[in-house]
Structure 1
Amino acid sequence: MINYNGSLVSNSEITLHQNRGFLYGDAVFETIKVLDGKVLFLEDHYFRLMASMRIVRMEIPMNFTLEYFEEQILNLVREMGVSPSFRVRFSVFRKPGGFYLPTTNDVEFIVAVEPLEVAMYSFDSKAYEVELFKDFYVTKQLLSSIKSNNKLVQITGSIFAYENGYENCLLMNDERNVVEALQSNLFMLIGSKLVTPPVSDGCLNGVMRKQILAIALKMEGLEVVEESISPFDLQKADELFLTNVIKGIQPITKYRKKEYKTEFAAGLLKKLNAQVRLG
């Protein structure tokens, strides 16, 4: 079951050879977590989707309000059953027509959901080794900060990680600074300083990234900065961890010969869960 343009259907009957999201990657999307019937970080997801649509010159329908966005998600979640938590993908794509130049900027959307095995954010202390992915780079530009269907860097990086026994890869921009992981933002703790790359370096403007920054800024004795991270900086870190809205916080335990602590990330996750419960 999916939500296609506001209707709950088992099949959208979209013709792939005419769909611009399939043909040209002419689509933007949000990956969202629903917990106990509530869309987590609703406003952040909605406003990022609206910003993404504006950046790629899609026409935003007049009825596409925050309330409408939430309703389309929850209507489908309620239809899907009793699981306490769901992963939601809300995809928006231009209507068919044209080649690189579309014949219209009007849009359609699809919402798809799947249940999650773990409802609350949980701390995973298992070994989690990463490596740099050097075959392709993230371009330092505005399009890199949004979630679009153009994910070939992340796909080829995921294959590289799988083939070489890594849990994840870290991506670099064209200035050879580390900007993010394949599906997550990156944070680095050095002493009492927490660092994450700025969006201007080409990383995704992550919703969970925003939550973690807000929580960290309230912690006493912690300096929180957004600045470029070089591969050399990774070797100096006490902790490295990744963030996204589905997993929450994923600590990195090893990069090359360096092994990392996880205590700060574990404490941060507790604060995140407390915020989610209160929200």
Structure 2
Amino acid sequence: MIINYNGDFIEEDALMLNISTNRCFLYGDGVFESMLGNISGIRFWNDHYERLVKSASAIKLDIQRLPGSQNLHELLKETLRKNNIDQTARIKVQLWRTSKGLYNPDTDDISYIITTKEFDREYVILKEHVKVIHTPRLTFTEYSSYKTCNSLAYVLASKERIRLGLDDVILLDQKDRVAELSTMNIFWYQRGKLFTPSLNTGCVSGVMRKRILDYCEANKIKTVPALSTIDALDGSDYVFGSNFSGIHPISRVNDYKFLPELPDFMLKFIEKLP
């Protein structure tokens, strides 16, 4: 596979990183952004680039070395071309602090890597078996809404999902409030309102989450940033999860059951996606 490392295209196997000083490896001192796209363009590119810049700024990285929006967009498409990927692909941009030092870095300069992988999953997949787990818990911080290179909570949540044989699990925050799914934001539709956990629960501010909320606002669908326990889902007609790769209906959470489909307004939303 061809990757892009700080603007240069190289074979993945040729990448040489010093693990004794690499802060991403040592401390998780970095951020990343995952997205879908093809050689024609990256879906929701402006939103992804904005979040990448905000993520880097939140952990005090100096982003002057990061290419501008248009230049980075072209690098992503060229990485796809170099790998002969002419269909929808998953693209990942990872930034980290390039510095010596222990916890206290001596510089905030960055390095970045662009990687690509073919993507062929269904965009809408029904999740029939979802349960709440009580560990790990999410905590709100000034950077919790971004994708950092320390994703331990989601790794442990995914391991628990596999151990329990579930389609997904719901993570709670420190106050027993619904935060998100293991890899997705969660929504529930009840009495004409669309609820999704507030960012104050420590959930990720997903690009698809933003797009859904913007669509609802434009179409006068009431949305509520929720600070709710799992019991709030009782009585909901629809529950679904979203991330950059799709929107997935959920038919059951613990003993609560919901319609195994998406509401009409979400089907219309999907129809309008680029």
Q: Which amino acid aligns with 1:238?
A: D
- 1:78 pairs with 2:81: yes
Over the matched positions of the two proteins, sequence identity in percent amounts to 27
SS of the residue corresponding to residue 148 of structure 1 reads coil
SS of the residue corresponding to residue 273 of structure 2 reads helix
Q: CA RMSD in A?
A: 1.8
Answer with 259-268 or 13-22: which moved more.
259-268
SS of the residue corresponding to residue 51 of structure 1 reads helix
SS of the residue corresponding to residue 196 of structure 1 reads strand
Q: 1:7 to 1:164 in 2, by over 3 A?
A: same
Superposition map of 1:51-200 within 5 A = 51-61=54-64, 64-118=67-121, 122-125=123-126, 127-200=127-200
Report the TM-score, using the length of structure 2 for normalisation: 0.93
- 1:271 pairs with 2:269: yes
Corresponding residue for residue 211 of structure 1: 211
Q: Distance in 2 between matches of 1:32 and 1:94?
A: 22
Give the C-alpha shift of residue 170 in structure 1: 0.8
- 1:22 pairs with 2:20: no
Q: Distance in 2 between matches of 1:54 and 1:60?
A: 7
Answer with 232-241 or 24-33: which moved more.
232-241
Give the C-alpha shift of residue 216 in structure 1: 2.1
Give the C-alpha shift of residue 232 in structure 1: 0.9
Corresponding residue for residue 259 of structure 1: 257
Q: Gaps (5+ residues) in structure 1?
A: none
Q: Distance in 1 between matches of 2:62 and 2:236?
A: 44
Q: Is the 8 A contact 1:241 1:265 kept in 2?
A: no
Q: Distance in 1 between matches of 2:9 and 2:23?
A: 22
Q: Gaps (5+ residues) in structure 2?
A: none
Q: Distance in 1 between matches of 2:28 and 2:50?
A: 21
Q: Distance in 1 between matches of 2:57 and 2:154?
A: 23
Q: Distance in 2 between matches of 1:63 and 1:195?
A: 35
Corresponding residue for residue 10 of structure 2: 9
Q: 1:63 to 1:108 in 2, by over 3 A?
A: closer
Deviations 1:80-111 (A, max 9, x none): 11431010110000114111111210000001
Give the C-alpha shift of residue 128 in structure 1: 2.7
SS of the residue corresponding to residue 241 of structure 2 reads strand
Give the C-alpha shift of residue 45 in structure 1: 0.7
Q: Is the 8 A contact 2:128 2:252 kept in 1?
A: yes
